[in-house]
Structure 1
Amino acid sequence: MTDGDTQINQVPDELTMKIAALLRNGLGAQQTTTNSENLSLGIKLGGDNYALWATLMKKANGGRGRGSHVTGDPSPLLKTDTSYSRWEQDDQCVFTWIIQNLESNLVNNVSQYPTAKALWDGLATTYGSGTDSLQVFDLHKRANSLKQGSDSLEDLWSRLQGIWMSIDRRDPNPMKDPEDIQVYNKKTQEQRLYQLLMAVDDKLEPIKRDILKKEPLPSVEAAYATIRREVARVTILKSGPSDNIQRKSD
């Protein structure tokens, strides 16, 4: 095993802030285009953020009708096909988009790939493969110990999602039977619900207890929505009518 294989896959603070912005504003708000041949995700693959980067890049290509160039489904056209020239043009466009969203120090190492799919698979092998136990352990540890602190609720949620995304990538559901998959996913949801509630500020303890009293337990997404509404309600009550009057007079 190389030194790179044993490094713990961390989600840098700067990256988590970008995750927060992406999740709050939506992928479309983060993408900027100057013409049909340019695409910017707002983040670049730097080696330790593959899971998030690959998800956004795949969605961006799919949103432009060129998802097959990274998924390989349907298969690439043969050179003898009458539409091959158009397919090749689209493939080179996707190849360019991927390159545009890599850190500059990675470009020289991957520019020799012949197609966008070959490039995509090469990046997945280099930066996204492997289920190193130390990395998985560290991700679970950080998910269980994460605290809101001075972060906003939205930033906390985004940080958790970034960790969960990395866990799913490196430690996928091992079940094969549909019923077993459903049971496994339910237990994962419960675990993530508990992680969210442990991370949220203690001043929201009453709403956390209310969520845990529900039968059945809500999904982690539903719990987050409930907490977010409560935070908004408390904020409005704190502002009070006198504040509203003062703002109007200003």
Structure 2
Amino acid sequence: MTPVATPYGLGDASPQSITVHKLTGRNFISWSKSVMMYICGRGKDDFLTGFVPRHDAGDPKLRLWKADNNMVMSWLINSTTPEIGENFLLYDTAKDIWDAAPEAYSCKDNSAELFAIETTLQPLCQGENTVTVYFTKLTQLWRQLDMFEQFYWRCPQDEQRYKAIIEQRRLFKFLLGLNNDLDDVRGRILGTKPLSSL
């Protein structure tokens, strides 16, 4: 379907799935990030933030606003499970849905998600994988951890120091998981001063 020009950007009325991360009630952070990425890419994120206000009755722009708002609402509803989407059908604007989603489905401490990632991460080693595949799997899990772990620092120096500690621990995890036939490489890396980055 051809995008339609509107005052707020390019519209796309296609009923496509906008993300593989459907909101299930237990994956709010990954869902919200992937949905926002899609909607920002379409130039419609102002409908989530409320930056584009609803026009008054009689304003000729109201019809276009409604069309864009309903399109964004349909993207949000179609990116959820049917049970969650059924509830969101009762809202009037995309912003209403966007504001309600974290209240209902965001877990403040993300403990369940963090535990699931750590459960996969801890025993992970190279095994039959190439070094590249092993590293890619580790990196994917570490990025998920970074997404779920949200820290608020009082000073930038503490944040930088923490990141350096995490980087060192991840290097150790990577090296520990390498197969035994790479002991020489592991030893050379550990012998470098300062230690190499991942």
- Indicate whether the TM-score tops 0.5: yes
Q: Name the amino acid aligned to 2:53.
A: L
Contact map agreement 2:29 2:148 (CA 8 A) in 1: no
1:181 matched to 2:159? yes
1:134-185 CA-to-partner distances (Å, cap 9, x unmatched) read 6545544543332344456666555444543443344312313222222222
| Structure 1: unaligned runs, 5 residues or longer | 1-34, 224-250
1:95 matched to 2:73? yes
1:130 matched to 2:108? yes
Percent of aligned pairs with the same amino acid: 24
Which consecutive aligned stretches of 4+ in structure 1 deviate over 6 angstroms post-superposition? none
The structure 2 residue matched to 1:112, chosen from 71, 84, 90, is 90
- Secondary structure of the 2:24 match is coil
- Displacement, 1:119? 1.6
Contact map agreement 2:125 2:177 (CA 8 A) in 1: yes
Q: What TM-score, normalized by structure 1, do the two folds share?
A: 0.57
Contact map agreement 2:131 2:178 (CA 8 A) in 1: yes
- Displacement, 1:101? 2.0
1:209-244 CA-to-partner distances (Å, cap 9, x unmatched) read 44444554454xxx3xxxxxxxxxxxxxxxxxxxxx
The structure 1 residue matched to 2:142, chosen from 140, 161, 164, is 164
Written as runs of structure 1 = structure 2, the 5 A alignment for 1:186-197 is 186-197=164-175
| Structure 2: unaligned runs, 5 residues or longer | 1-11
Q: 2 CA distance for matches of 1:152 and 1:120?
A: 42
- Displacement, 1:125? 2.9
- Secondary structure of the 1:145 match is coil
Contact map agreement 1:58 1:67 (CA 8 A) in 2: yes
| Cα RMSD (Å) | 3.3
The structure 2 residue matched to 1:37, chosen from 6, 14, 30, is 14
Aligned residues: 184
- Secondary structure of the 2:74 match is helix
Q: Which moved more, 1:106-115 or 1:74-83?
A: 74-83
Q: 2 CA distance for matches of 1:82 and 1:153?
A: 60
2:51 match: 75
The structure 2 residue matched to 1:60, chosen from 15, 35, 38, is 38
